[in-house]
Structure 1
Amino acid sequence: MWQIFHKLGSPKWFYGIASKLMPWLLWLGAGLLLAGLVWGLAFAPKDYLQGNSYRILYIHVPSAFLAQSVYLMMASAAVVTLVWRIKLADLFVRSVAPVGAIFTFLALFTGAVWGKPTWGTWWIWDARLTSMLILLFLYFGVIALSSAISDEKSAARSTAVLVLVGVVNIPIIKYSVEWWNTLHQPATFKLTEKPSMSPDMWVPLLLAVLGLYLIFGWLACLRMQTEILTRESRTRWVQELVRSGEG
């Protein structure tokens, strides 16, 4: 187990593994996401209260899931950075922070589109919406801080601390609909409860969620490979990779 853990900290080893995984992540993810979106947007039945406007859920929910999950992954990597000082963990944080910001923006945008016909307004300072906006600012802060400090080690430590401070916002996002009076509806999926939607509505949603997670995996690998080539540009294995045309 420890040997695998240390191998994961090797940029060269990770680069090779990522190259093998990426085609599977991309095509399987794209297939599941496309199937879920086509099924949900075109063939799932209308909601008895919201009609067709609820279909934005098939984009909104996967984006919101990823927005929070990516930050939790970053927090785990931040712990590894601070405790074990494995530079690949910091590289992960730097690579996926922009991706997390995009998913958060997409969740906010689709939420606003959904909110207009449902609540009669594009935006309200609802607890869930406000905490999601804070998450977007946290992503921006991580991106800015990691770019502002020239020394890699100092940037890694400072960014890791910021990520861990901001992780307190994740449970606020999750439980905001239970802790406060909000307009936002409760979670669509709960591990301890049966889905309130019919199977022909929640199955495509599940496919879209799984597909987007796999697409994120592909994006994370792609961006990390780019960062590895930049950081390790002076090493022999990267120079050989570039000469062979694979880098």
Structure 2
Amino acid sequence: MPWLWAAAILVTGIGAAWALFLSPADWQQGETVRIMHVHVPMAWLAMGGYTGLGILSIMSLIWRHPLADLTARELSPVGAAVTALCLATGSLWGKPMWGTWWVWDARLTSVLVLFFLWLGHAALVRAFDDMERGARAGAILALVGLVNVPIVKFSVDWWNTLHQPASVTRIDAPGMHVDLLYPLLVNALGFSLLFGAVVLARTRSAVMERRVRALQTARARRAEAA
């Protein structure tokens, strides 16, 4: 954990300084392009995190792994937070670029659905007194919602949307100059490390909480037996 937190803070700090002070403004977007150094990593984490949630749900349903249940339980609030940041920064960018905070096109609507899926999973796993029942219900919801991830990714290719097409993950060549691309990738790495550190810290706390509850239950039973 200390090494992960240190790496996350270091890389994020370097990426933030690079994006804010060293990276040039875009010839079309001007200084507004700096919002992309947060928006794009948040979008990647929203989709990648939900894919991870789907993998944890498969582990939960097939192998009944308790750590998968705990990790999924702690992952969903963090995933909801990064998706909310993705939507918020996208709106901040959209107002000067598109002239509006929001449009109901395929990309924005599918990301909003993804946000509600994160929130739904976070609420559902905590809606049952029996944690195992909540974990099973949340895993089913996560797997059903997994179909939305490719919709988010390919929505700009499948439909005519206001949102710009992929400019970083193109197979032939990225549609960004390296002066903008490199700090974006550093920020993506830094935010990914932060995301992992937060989820790991939350999962570790959940494991310790479960151990404490188990000890308290055992002590209560011994006291009743005595």
Under a length normalisation based on structure 1, what TM-score does the superposition of the two structures give?
0.84
Q: Deviations over 1:175-224 (max 9, x none)?
A: 00000000111123216232121211110000000011111111011100
- The amino acid of 2:129's aligned partner reads S
Equivalence for 1:206 = 185
Structure 2 residue 132 is matched with structure 1 residue 157: no
Structure 2 residue 66 is matched with structure 1 residue 97: no
Equivalence for 1:245 = none
Deviation at 1:79, TM superposition (A): 0.1
Give the SS at the match of 1:148.
coil
Q: How does 1:1-247 map to 2 (within 5 A)?
A: 22-190=1-169, 192-234=171-213
Instruction: Check the 8 A contact 1:29/1:212 in 2, yes or no.
Output: yes
Distance 1:41 1:178 in 2: 31
Distance 2:171 2:148 in 1: 23
Distance 2:98 2:143 in 1: 34
Change (3 A) 1:232 1:177: same
Distance 2:3 2:179 in 1: 27
Give ranges in structure 2 of 5+ residues lacking alignment. 219-226
Equivalence for 1:16 = none
Q: Deviations over 1:32-76 (max 9, x none)?
A: 111112111222112111111111000101111111111110100
Instruction: Check the 8 A contact 1:81/1:90 in 2, yes or no.
Output: yes
Equivalence for 2:224 = none
Give the SS at the match of 2:206.
helix
Instruction: Check the 8 A contact 1:78/1:89 in 2, yes or no.
Output: yes
Distance 2:192 2:210 in 1: 27
Distance 2:154 2:45 in 1: 17
Q: Deviations over 1:138-192 (max 9, x none)?
A: 0111011111111122111111000000010000000000000001111232162
Distance 1:23 1:116 in 2: 39
Give ranges in structure 1 of 5+ residues lacking alignment. 1-21, 240-247
CA RMSD of aligned residues (A): 1.4
Equivalence for 1:18 = none
